[in-house]
Amino acid sequence: MRFHPAISITLGVIISLILYLISISVFGVIGWVGAFQAIQGASWFGTFLLIISYTLGGFIATYFTKEKKIQYALYDGIFILLIFGILTVPNSSLDVITSLLLLFSYGTLLLLLAVMGGMFGQMVDEKFKGFSPILAIIAGSIAGYSCLVLLSLLTGQAPDSYSLDLVNIAVGVISFVIGGFLSVFLAKEKKIQNGIYAGLTILAIIIGVGLIQMLTGHWPVYIHMVTFVGYVISAVIGAYLGIKQPKIKKEK
Q: What is the mean pLDDT of residues 58-78?
A: 88
Do 110 and 219 share a structural domain?
no
Do 233 and 115 share a structural domain?
no
Do 199 and 93 share a structural domain?
no
Do 106 and 117 share a structural domain?
yes
Q: What are phi and psi of 131, to 5 degrees?
A: -105, 170
What pLDDT is recorded for position 250? 43
Do 81 and 135 share a structural domain?
no
What pLDDT is recorded for position 216? 60
Q: What is the mean pLDDT of residues 74-91?
A: 78
What pLDDT is recorded for position 91? 58
Task: Select from 77, 95, 128 the last residue of a domain.
Answer: 128
**In terms of pTM, does the model score above 0.85?**
no
What pLDDT is recorded for position 48? 82
Do 70 and 45 share a structural domain?
yes
Do 145 and 109 share a structural domain?
no
* Domain total of the chain: 2
Do 121 and 133 share a structural domain?
no
Lowest mean pLDDT among 27-41, 89-103, 205-219, 230-244: 27-41
Do 149 and 62 share a structural domain?
no
Do 107 and 200 share a structural domain?
no
Task: Select from 104, 128, 152 the last residue of a domain.
Answer: 128
Q: What is the pLDDT of residues 9-42, one digit of tens each?
A: 999 999 988 888 887 777 766 555 555 555 555 6
For 130, counting Cβ atoms within 10 Å of its Cβ (0-12 exposed, 13-18 middle, 19+ buried), the class is middle
Residues 58, 69 contacting (CB under 8 angstroms)? no
- Which residues constitute the domain of residue 140? 129-252
SS3 per residue for the chain: CCECHHHHHHHHHHHHHHHHHHHHHCCCCCCHHHHHCCCCCCCHHHHHHHHHHHHHHHHHHHHCECCCCHHHHHHHHHHHHHHHHHHHHHHCCCCHHHHHHHHHHHHHHHHHHHHHHHHHHHHCCCCCCCECHHHHHHHHHHHHHHHHHHHHHHHCCCCCCCCCCHHHHHHHHHHHHHHHHHHHHCECCCCCHHHHHHHHHHHHHHHHHHHHHHHCCCCCCCCCHHHHHHHHHHHHHHHHHHHHHHHHHHHC
Q: What are phi and psi of 139, to 5 degrees?
A: -65, -45
Task: Select from 87, 105, 128 the last residue of a domain.
Answer: 128
Do 63 and 119 share a structural domain?
yes
Q: What is the mean pLDDT of residues 199-223?
A: 71
Q: Which of 207, 186, 191, 196 is nearest to 235 (CA)?
A: 196
Residues 161, 223 contacting (CB under 8 angstroms)? no
Backbone dihedral region of 41: left (phi > 0), alpha (psi from -120 to 50 degrees) or beta? left
Do 240 and 136 share a structural domain?
yes
